[in-house]
Structure 1
């Protein structure tokens, strides 16, 4: 048994302790476990009720942001090579009347047209069936614990964590898992979300859709013409093919079928038979071709988002938090972005380097608006591409936002950033400035430790906080090193100084040659300072650069009571603008201002000390009740276990 499994026994049932229990080991759950292992949390447990990874070729289109994440994990080249075996690098999204018939247009002629200007990674097609074995091997190699053929029976949660009962699907053996956090990656019908009573909101059920898996040789219809996603639009069927470049691998998704605009047309999977599915497939191909249907998969087309992404220390991710139709490939990608946002936060909280609100508050605050926007945008694509006749002209359909804006231009606002408010959820990554709340937009840089080559800023990201200073900004780097050295509560911080030839970076990140940019482990700009650092004002009540950086980091990490860091940051900006006094009037004015600031800082310090005393009193009370609380939680769990087949005599003996 692994070292992390500390065994105990309740009613003869083993207890396993783990930092994080992940429910669901599809792409999202397995990616989260891999990212946690990368951040040093290697003893988490991921369970999956299926016996292995995906067996059907779902989720084919990977967005450039997603590929940046897998680039950080060292999987990009392997995924790219595997993709090229099956798909053209320049595949597109086309519209046809039938596969053998008229070409009606295109939604995206080349999925990678212009992408090199805004991302170090490309879009690519790679099915879940091909990808998940690669991810599984990588996850296990990095220390992730994956348990297939294992299901969640029940769970309880309290202020300290989650107690879950899990069971082997194959043997029926049960175990109790005690976790500090539980992440539900258990799909759009999430039993965890249902038990928590978290409702979903959005656009409801759009159609009873159908995926038809089949064997056929459709090569003559796609070779040298198009592969990837091919939308079908005719009087019999509306949906899309996903085919590889040989025309032999793929499937047909049917969103609506039959007479357009009718209620019946939105339920193609109801009462489905192989014969009916064959008629739909034949109508979509548009030619007399031999085929064999291998599997029919009915599913509900929905575009909805959960009202909340967490309940205490239970967190929703992937389809459990938001569900969309496949149009644009946003489902799996958005879930992977959830995992990327969450992993570094969990890791720092579990290591004692951040406050719990970094997980319990900022994850929802950042991911919910982006997910809501994505849900609404995918709904727009579903209406426009699959069912324009089913929705009234006054239906709440947003104007379509270009793919790059959704994939690389989404923005965050939370306490874990130094933003003031969220003006817009998306922006154009080609033209927008990289400021707090945005991704670290793509630009080539040269740093003093790699002067001989220009490389993507993304090369620096993915592990620690990163501070990048201009070629005249070494004072910020020195201050950062002092700040982290003098405060052991702060996490690792890596620093890099640019060389003089970095005009593109200064313009894109809106800083001067003496400024700096702080980027979080998930690649989002957390804070930036356009001007130079100053030192020596501490005795006058003004913050030195290292104090400013400490304040910034503590806000981002939710270590201090919630308050904006804008004050400290703006004061540092003011410092950089202060010149030596030239006359007595300036001296008096400065002395007055310093006095005001000293009084304000003293009051702020008194308030913090009072809050600290109050928190210590509350903690003392909680400690007195913690033992009783744990006993009550476990007693409740024992009663639950009684209902799932435990011996009443054994339970009565314990009582």
Structure 2
């Protein structure tokens, strides 16, 4: 590698897709200077995903970006989530079968009150996050690719190639968000397992055409086009003039992605719409193939894999992007805690311990849906019974209900009490996402966002005093998942780190002990806030899951 002296970078993020950008944003949010490198000249204009799940919306809210993202989302309230029609023209004429966009029930709003008004294409999400990073003065290095990486016990040396040539960078840690064919993962010698490529090769055509006249006021998230001349899947980008159309590429029949020329793509779009004279601008064409794979390891030394570099999820269910965002959310606060001297390096081991099982379960759930999409889209008792027979969890449970089991959770309860009812799954158990409850008009999710927080029961005066002693924000909550004299310690990623259901002799000492344990701090710990945590060894206390 070229030996050039540069100041050490706390974290290098490789890859400027949605997950890479959000990783950098979360690190900046936690006060960690990071450098992001991306081989493209800027954020991608070609969306690969449009479904942003509720947990991702919670992360965006934590960053203060949920309103901006909602503003660029397509308003699909009361619209069709899924449609089937021969052509767009026939769909607008009423010859269409639709499945409505899911409308959140009161029970669902009780679990997560924050959601978008519709779908948000990835390019629109990326534009919002990239603009926020630029506003923060983040170091985003476009048109820059990683060409070499080597690590030792104290850091990671990378060689980069950018507009001004090659140079070296010394990094404390590296986050690889460089996609399915991750160069970082390959350089580390990390293999993958899983089904691999699934089904036919596809062509994703991003195009601009005003379809409003043909749609006659109809809106949808996706529409399966069945005309033999151009069967495929039409997905909305802005619901008016920007769209993506997925068509198959018959590789087995000798067809190649390069056969989809500009002229052919225009003809395909016109056939799918049903208008031979439609004014079409093809903006971008991307070949792709559904895939299911899982990296053998999510971390090697000082290098961590997130997003598609760690797992590639088959598309049905919209689990792929959202699982990658959850990776970033889990990792960023841990990197920040170690960088700021608040945690021992052992905390970073819990990233792989927590995310690998969740990603594996998510891949399994996506694969179970693949053979029969109605297992995902179906409604009513018959669909519920079919899901139960096929071992398919409710989609909200996949997005929000999964649990962590690691040293960063005291007495974890990884078994899901329900794979159907999210409210049952979010019961305050250690390792689960903290339940939503309103406290003086503020959600517990907002109270706990980005910081260690103690939630105490209605008779929790001693816990409140103890939290003040160790520098923790604390709030009194009346909820069925929190006993009157109990307490929940919530991590910066809104995961319950500890639950106590009975009084302890010395609450301040107890909290200090727990923080030392979950933050992998040596005895004699490092302060989380002011005043410093009490310096003691972990004792045995009554915990409850």
Same fold (TM over 0.5): yes
**What is the CA–CA distance in structure 2 between the aligned matches of 1:372 and 1:280, rounded to whole Å?**
37
Q: 1:495 to 1:17 in 2, by over 3 A?
A: same
1:191 aligns with 2:183: yes
1:103 aligns with 2:125: no
**What is the CA–CA distance in structure 2 between the aligned matches of 1:519 and 1:335, rounded to whole Å?**
22
What is the Cα deviation at residue 439 of structure 1? 0.5
Q: Which residue of 1 aligns with 2:431?
A: 437
Q: Which residue of 1 aligns with 2:217?
A: 224
3-state SS of 1:315 partner: strand
Q: Which residue of 1 aligns with 2:338?
A: 349
What is the Cα deviation at residue 82 of structure 1? 2.4
Alpha-carbon contact 1:429-1:441 (below 8 Å) kept = no
**What is the CA–CA distance in structure 1 between the aligned matches of 2:391 and 2:271, rounded to whole Å?**
31
1:50 aligns with 2:40: yes
Q: Which has the higher contact order (CA 8 A, sep 6+)?
A: 2
**What is the CA–CA distance in structure 2 between the aligned matches of 1:232 and 1:128, rounded to whole Å?**
22
Q: Which residue of 2 aligns with 1:71?
A: 61
Q: 1:419-452, CA deviations, whole angstroms, 9 ceiling, x for partnerless residues?
A: 3452249743223312111101222123xxxxxx
1:403 aligns with 2:395: yes
**What is the CA–CA distance in structure 2 between the aligned matches of 1:38 and 1:71, rounded to whole Å?**
12
What is the Cα deviation at residue 105 of structure 1? 4.2
1:463 aligns with 2:445: no
1:21 aligns with 2:35: no
Alpha-carbon contact 2:193-2:296 (below 8 Å) kept = yes
Alpha-carbon contact 2:43-2:126 (below 8 Å) kept = yes
Residue 329 of structure 1 is aligned with which of 294, 318, 322?
318
Q: Which residue of 1 aligns with 2:192?
A: 200
Q: 1:28 to 1:244 in 2, by over 3 A?
A: closer
Q: 1:432-475, CA deviations, whole angstroms, 9 ceiling, x for partnerless residues?
A: 312111101222123xxxxxxx3211121222100011221111
Q: Which residue of 1 aligns with 2:159?
A: 165
What is the Cα deviation at residue 179 of structure 1? 0.9
What is the Cα deviation at residue 416 of structure 1? 0.5
Alpha-carbon contact 1:210-1:268 (below 8 Å) kept = no
Q: 1:134 to 1:245 in 2, by over 3 A?
A: closer
Q: 1:371-427, CA deviations, whole angstroms, 9 ceiling, x for partnerless residues?
A: 1122222233443349x9xxxxxxxx9543222111121211111101345224974
Q: 1:400 to 1:10 in 2, by over 3 A?
A: closer
**What is the CA–CA distance in structure 2 between the aligned matches of 1:267 and 1:444, rounded to whole Å?**
56
Q: Which residue of 2 aligns with 1:252?
A: 245
Q: Which residue of 2 aligns with 1:307?
A: 296
TM-score by length of 1: 0.71
In structure 1, runs of 5+ residues without a counterpart are 1-8, 389-396, 447-453, 485-491, 536-543, 562-566, 575-655
Q: Which residue of 2 aligns with 1:522?
A: 493
Q: 1:134 to 1:351 in 2, by over 3 A?
A: same
1:93 aligns with 2:86: no
Matches within 5 A, 1:112-131: 112=104, 115-123=108-116, 124-131=118-125
Alpha-carbon contact 2:223-2:235 (below 8 Å) kept = yes
Residue 545 of structure 1 is aligned with which of 492, 502, 507?
507
Alpha-carbon contact 1:190-1:320 (below 8 Å) kept = yes
Q: Which residue of 2 aligns with 1:532?
A: 503
Q: 1:403 to 1:336 in 2, by over 3 A?
A: same
TM-score by length of 2: 0.85
How many residue pairs get aligned? The number is: 508
**What is the CA–CA distance in structure 1 between the aligned matches of 2:410 and 2:226, rounded to whole Å?**
47
Q: Which residue of 1 aligns with 2:135?
A: 141
**What is the CA–CA distance in structure 2 between the aligned matches of 1:560 and 1:398, rounded to whole Å?**
46
